[in-house]
Amino acid sequence: MKPESQVKETHYVDLEDIWVAYDHKWVLQSVYFSCGAGEIVGIVGPNGGGKSTLLKVILGLVRPDRGTVRLFGEKPGKRGLQEVGYLPQISQAERFFPVSALDVVLMGLYARIGFFRRPDQKDRETAMEVLNRVGMADHAGRPFGALSGGQQQRVHIARALAPHPRLLVLDEPATGVDSVAQEDFYRLLAELRDAEGLSVLMVSHDIGVITAHADRIACLNVEIHYHGEAQACMIPENIARVFGRDLKVMVHDSRCATCFRRHSHE
């Protein structure tokens, strides 16, 4: 993790006093949030707490009713969206779509390829490289619909990584991915952060996993209840404010054998 001062100088994401309402109900209320260069920020909170909405506000997919959004110091949509890799929340595996895993990863490069041009050999090589990184190179030619949910998720992640974004925005990246592949994936994120200064914003309802892998945490339930060092988020008082009093937390880290077993039964 970078020192705090350096992080502040180069904010990739800056939200100030964001308010969003759906159906006359506030889903985000006065949210302040930031993410600097080269840090992994986890966003945790209960379902319906506005986690996905927060990501969409950052990406410019949802316009806030109030407040200012800055992405790489500018309004979202103006510039820089090509420097963002986005993994939306996937509810179920795609059953049929006539593309291969490689085709899906190539989509991540379309913006760079530009209009009226087709992907060339070099683009294909780039895509294969990323597929290899997520352990899916052997499945490159297979129809996307024939892959398992976890494999599809890894291909989606490869697509988000393909254009070498500066910021990766992940909505529930662990969906359907088994625990070993999850550990590999979080290790890959840390590698990219250290080597290329990649920033990662990830949302999860699994507070244990997030605290083990994020540099900083934001606890969100309509309002931000905590935004800071990952470990401090585990203070019972913070957890109770966000999730309610009844939640039990299993602290997860890579050495925790019981966690692995628990996850593998899911």
Partner 1 sequence: MSELLALEFMRNAFLAGMLLSTVLAVVSFFVVLRRFSFIGVGVAHSAFGGVALGVLLGVSPVLSALGFSIIVANAIGWISRRKEISTDTAIGIFFALAMALGVIFIGMSGRYNVDLFGYLFGNILAITRQELVIVCVLGILVLAGIVLFFKEFLFIAFDQEVARVNGVPVTLLDHFFLTLLAVAVVICIKMVGIVLVSALLVIPGAAASQVARSYGAMIGVSIAVAVISTTGGLILSYYADLASGAVIVTLAALLFFIAFGLGRLQKTPR
Contact 126, 137 (CB under 8 A): no
Shortest distance, CB of residue 176 to partner 1, whole angstroms?
A: 16
Shortest distance, CB of residue 204 to partner 1, whole angstroms?
A: 19
Contacts with partner 1, 67-86, as mask; x by CB under 8 A: --------------xx-x-x
User: Helix, strand, or coil here: 102?
Assistant: helix
Residue of the chain from 19, 110, 124, 256 that contacts partner 1 (CB under 8 A): 110
- The answer to whether residue 93 forms part of the interface with partner 1 (CB under 8 A) is no
- The answer to whether residue 108 forms part of the interface with partner 1 (CB under 8 A) is yes
In terms of Cα–Cα distance, which of 31, 33, 29 is closest to 13?
33
- The answer to whether residue 122 forms part of the interface with partner 1 (CB under 8 A) is no
In terms of Cα–Cα distance, which of 170, 174, 172 is closest to 183?
174
Q: Both tokens of residue 158?
A: 């490869």
Residue of the chain from 115, 120, 121, 258 that contacts partner 1 (CB under 8 A): 115
Buried b / exposed e along 147-166 (16+ C-beta atoms within 10 A): beebbbbbbbbbbbbbbebb
- The answer to whether residue 88 forms part of the interface with partner 1 (CB under 8 A) is yes
Contacts with partner 1, 24-53, as mask; x by CB under 8 A: ------------------------------
Shortest distance, CB of residue 220 to partner 1, whole angstroms?
A: 20
Which of the 8 DSSP states describes residue 88? -
**Residue 22: which H helix or E strand, with range?**
strand 11-22
- The answer to whether residue 121 forms part of the interface with partner 1 (CB under 8 A) is no
Residues 168-207 that bind partner 1 (CB under 8 A): 169
Residues 212-231 that bind partner 1 (CB under 8 A): none
Parallel/antiparallel/unpaired status of strands 11-22 and 25-36: antiparallel
Q: Both tokens of residue 74?
A: 């500018």
Residue of the chain from 51, 133, 154, 159 that contacts partner 1 (CB under 8 A): 159
Shortest distance, CB of residue 79 to partner 1, whole angstroms?
A: 9
Buried b / exposed e along 243-266 (16+ C-beta atoms within 10 A): beeeeeeeebeeeeeebbeebeee
- The answer to whether residue 100 forms part of the interface with partner 1 (CB under 8 A) is yes
- The answer to whether residue 61 forms part of the interface with partner 1 (CB under 8 A) is yes
Shortest distance, CB of residue 167 to partner 1, whole angstroms?
A: 11
